[in-house]
Amino acid sequence: MSLPALRPISAWGLFALPGRERQSESLEAASATAELSRGLGRSYGDSSLPATPESELLCTTLADRILAFDDGSGLLTGEAGLALHEIHRLLMPRGWFAPVTPGTQFVTLGGMVASDIHGKNHHKAGCFGDHVTSLRMRLASGEVVTCGPDERAELFWATVGGMGLTGHILEVTFRMVRIPSPWIYQESRRVPDIESFIAGLKESGPDWPMTMGWIDCVSGGSSLGRGILMRGRWAEPSEAPARFPAMPPRLTMPFFFPSWALNPLSVRAFNILYYWKHLAREKRGVVSPWGFFYPLDAIQLWNRMYGRRGFTQYQCVLPEEAGQGAARRFLELLVKLGGASFLCVIKDCGAEGRGLLSFPKPGISIALDLPLRDWTQRVVNELNAFVIAEGGRIYLTKDTLTLPADFAKMEPRLAAFDEARRQFDPERRLRSHQSERLLEPAPKERP
Amino acid sequence: MKTAILGASKGMGRALARVRAERGDDLVLLGRDIEDLERSAADLRVRGRGAVTVIACDLESPDGFPAVIEALFAGGIRLDNLVITAAHFGTQDELEADPVRARRLLTANLANTVELCERARVALLAQGGGTLCVFSSVAGDRGRKPVGLYGASKAGLSHYLEALDHKWRAAGLITICVKPGFVKTGMTAGLKPPPFAGEPDAVARQVSAAIDRGTPLIYTPAIWQLVMLVIRHLPRFVMRRISF
């Protein structure tokens, strides 16, 4: 196998790092020399980027076969590069949907496991890893093994949410869920402030399998945290259209916006418009699942909106113990820092993910986009200081700028994960730019 | 409909098998690695409703071709389409550095592929006709620096396929020569994609339509027809200067 060419590699945040990327239909063979597997590159930060220019990554997207699907139990085995949108295209018309989905369906099974993704149904369904029954992996030693909740459980729970650092994920087996129809019954309403928002999420939780909200993060004072609360459930056949919901045509953002297009004024205008676009105080009805789950998938490469310098996302969870006021204080800090974002999403999390580094835990999760500018590092540091004080943590899949000392303070499970890496990859052959930044370095580099 | 594809588990062959599976074809997957073919068969069984079977066939072992043809046409069930996507590939640098590998490539892509087509021709005509769809390449249209040796094998193949179509179409044997431009597959994964690089899915849909219509020659993605029209008409002194 010849060495792939050195070229800039980027993920969804668009900033690029030099490295080498191999692509192959056969992950088992091609992962021999790779430091990390990566899928469709939808993580925002540097978790799928090369640690050094000499690093070789394995892109899994050519390994996209369904190896088994049981129409009775919903159990599906797929190669790690199989994309969620392909699974839905094939199996939704037959009444099946992923047990958990992130806000885009352009993700691979391997990525969904490595990030232990969560979605609008987290308060009911937990993370994706809770629905995985088995993984086939190639460890750093070259050994190919299977693991699951009942087999090599230590490896399994270190791999779920383990950012690809415990081995190359080759195959994933998980349980799809039956849906009564492919349509969604949705209720949405304008919410005047952050307190009503959190109350709305809490009150909707028991009866609604899917909840989330969008917050206007530029308005302060009495309107702080106002926004649109959405809740949904799968529509019953009696209320849904008989036809299959057409996937919307995908428009492509044809060019990078210039950096000045994103300024306090345009962000403010967008936030106000988005809030008032929801003219009626409350709307209800049957909607397409594509718009409900994946509003941003309608525009390919929407990330170019942030200009060539790219962007990052900041997502944290503020734990229940921090109390009701934590979310308000977070937003007050955000408004003060001026880190306004087009898109700020709020969601209440259910039980803590079982993966060693899984992101969610009971509390309120807030996610927002931040363009990469000179001030971004300072904003992230200040937000992190707040999150640490409140006992919260950040989501590695979104992170670009968190300092290692800050990460250590918010992640009590870090020592256990470092220990798992020592066990499954003693020479630390597997690494990413993010792992080099935040996690324990390889033994030889340790002082 | 029954469609057999040599090279069905990878790249454009995989994409084409999926397109045909989803519209209900019965499929026969041919290739070197039976275990890999079985994994593709599982994938295609989830995607389609037709039967999927596998047969080992190695383009480098022409001695095995008679048995392959016999297995393909066994049981008296009509084979509607035989598609050959498999071929060797090497960059010009790799092949210039290794003349033995160059000969192997030329043998597999031209001599052996033609032998397989000849045996398939006889069997298809014997059952009253059918479609033979073979992947050549735009690399065979003009002697170009980066694909001289690979292109030579494909030039010979394109030439043969054109004559095959002229001679036997009236008798019921439809020959389709597919000339892909640069398509993003495992074969081209190490190369820098040029402008107009295509995706295997789009290529597969276009090839599937060509099989339905019996189009004797297609460039895919379609834009390559225009690109190659220009390149075929460039004077030699220009070709000598450019590196494309």
Which of A62, A67, A69 is facing B186, going by the closest CB pair?
A: A62
Hey, are the CB atoms on A65 and B186 less than 8 Å from each other?
no
Mean pLDDT of A338-347: 78
CA distance B189 to A59: 10
Element (H, E) at A59: strand A56-59
Does pLDDT of A1 surpass 60?
Answer: no
Specify the pLDDT at position B83: 98
Structural domain boundaries, residue B42? 2-241
CA distance B142 to B147: 9
Same domain, residue pair A306 and A157: no
Pair of tokens at residue A241: 């259209």
Whether residue A80 is contained in a domain is answered as yes
Calculate Rg over the CA atoms of chain A: 21
Whether residue A226 is contained in a domain is answered as yes
Q: Which residues of A touch B185 (CB under 8 A)?
A: 62
Mean pLDDT, chain B, integer: 95
CATH of the domain at B183: 3.40.50.720
Confidence of residue A339 (pLDDT cuts 50, 70, 90): low
CATH of the domain at A73: 3.30.465.10
Terminal alpha carbon distance of chain A: 36
Residues A140-182 pLDDT 10s: 999 999 999 999 999 999 999 999 999 999 999 999 999 999 9
**Residue A158 per-residue DSSP state:** H
Mean pLDDT of A353-376: 92
Confidence of residue B6 (pLDDT cuts 50, 70, 90): very high
Structural domain boundaries, residue A75? 66-178
Which residue numbers of B have CB closer than 8 Å to A's CBs? 9-11, 14, 36, 39-40, 42-43, 46-47, 94, 185-186, 189-190, 192
Most confident of the ranges A132-141, A301-310, B181-190? A132-141
Pair of tokens at residue B61: 């072992």
Q: Which of A178, A208, A226 is the last residue of a domain?
A: A178
Mean pLDDT of A265-276: 78
Q: Which residues of A touch B39 (CB under 8 A)?
A: 65, 67
Confidence of residue A13 (pLDDT cuts 50, 70, 90): confident
Same domain, residue pair A56 and A70: no
Specify the pLDDT at position A342: 67
ipTM passes above 0.90: yes
Q: Distance (Å) from the C-alpha of residue A77 to the closest C-alpha of chain B?
A: 10
Hey, are the CB atoms on B42 and A68 less than 8 Å from each other?
yes
Same domain, residue pair A156 and A213: no
CATH of the domain at A206: 3.30.70.2520
Confidence of residue A93 (pLDDT cuts 50, 70, 90): very high
Which of B39, B185, B189 is facing A65, going by the closest CB pair?
A: B39
Burial of B175-194, coded b for 16+ CB within 10 Å and e otherwise, reads bbbbbbbbbbbbebbbeeee
CA distance B33 to B10: 11
Whether residue A446 is contained in a domain is answered as no
CA distance A160 to B227: 47
Hey, are the CB atoms on B43 and A65 less than 8 Å from each other?
yes
Compare all CA atoms of chain A with the CA of B186 and give the residue at the minimum distance: A24
Q: Which residues of B touch A66 (CB under 8 A)?
A: 42-43, 46-47
Residues A387-409 pLDDT 10s: 999 999 999 999 999 999 999 99
Residues A29-67 pLDDT 10s: 999 999 999 999 999 999 999 999 999 999 999 999 999
Does pLDDT of A236 surpass 70?
Answer: yes
Specify the pLDDT at position A166: 97
Element (H, E) at A177: strand A177-178
Name the 3-class secondary structure at B21: helix
- Cβ-Cβ pairs closer than 8 A, A with B, add up to 38
Residue A254, CA atoms < 13 Å, CB-side half-sphere? 0
Q: Considering chain A, what percentage of its residues have pLDDT values greater than 90?
A: 72
Total domains, chain A: 3
Does pLDDT of A272 surpass 60?
Answer: yes
Specify the pLDDT at position B195: 81
Which of A4, A23, A67 is facing B39, going by the closest CB pair?
A: A67
Same domain, residue pair A39 and A70: no
Whether residue A151 is contained in a domain is answered as yes
Specify the pLDDT at position A392: 96
Compare all CA atoms of chain B with the CA of A90 and give the residue at the minimum distance: B47
Same domain, residue pair A356 and A264: yes
Total domains, chain B: 1
Whether residue A412 is contained in a domain is answered as no
Same domain, residue pair A318 and A346: yes
Specify the pLDDT at position A444: 63
Whether residue A81 is contained in a domain is answered as yes
Q: Distance (Å) from the C-alpha of residue A396 to the closest C-alpha of chain B?
A: 29
Does pLDDT of A373 surpass 60?
Answer: yes
Pair of tokens at residue B41: 């068969």
Same domain, residue pair A357 and A272: yes
Same domain, residue pair A139 and A267: no
Same domain, residue pair A168 and A197: no
Same domain, residue pair A295 and A333: yes
CB-CB contact of A113 with A129 (8 Å): yes
Specify the pLDDT at position A3: 80
Specify the pLDDT at position A233: 97
Q: Which of A333-342, A356-365, A428-437 has the lowest mean pLDDT?
A: A333-342
Same domain, residue pair A190 and A252: yes
Compare all CA atoms of chain A with the CA of B48 and give the residue at the minimum distance: A90
Mean pLDDT of A334-360: 87
Does pLDDT of A447 surpass 60?
Answer: no
Q: Distance (Å) from the C-alpha of residue A430 to the closest C-alpha of chain B?
A: 22
Whether residue A36 is contained in a domain is answered as yes
> Beta strand A75-79 with A96-97: parallel, antiparallel or unpaired?
unpaired
Q: Which of A61-70, B27-36, B70-79, B130-139 has the lowest mean pLDDT?
A: B70-79
Specify the pLDDT at position A445: 55
Compare all CA atoms of chain B with the CA of A5 and give the residue at the minimum distance: B190
Q: Which of A125, A155, A178 is the last residue of a domain?
A: A178
Residues A407-427 pLDDT 10s: 999 999 999 999 999 999 999
CA distance A11 to A310: 10
Mean pLDDT of B52-67: 97
Same domain, residue pair A265 and A221: yes
Mean pLDDT of B206-227: 96
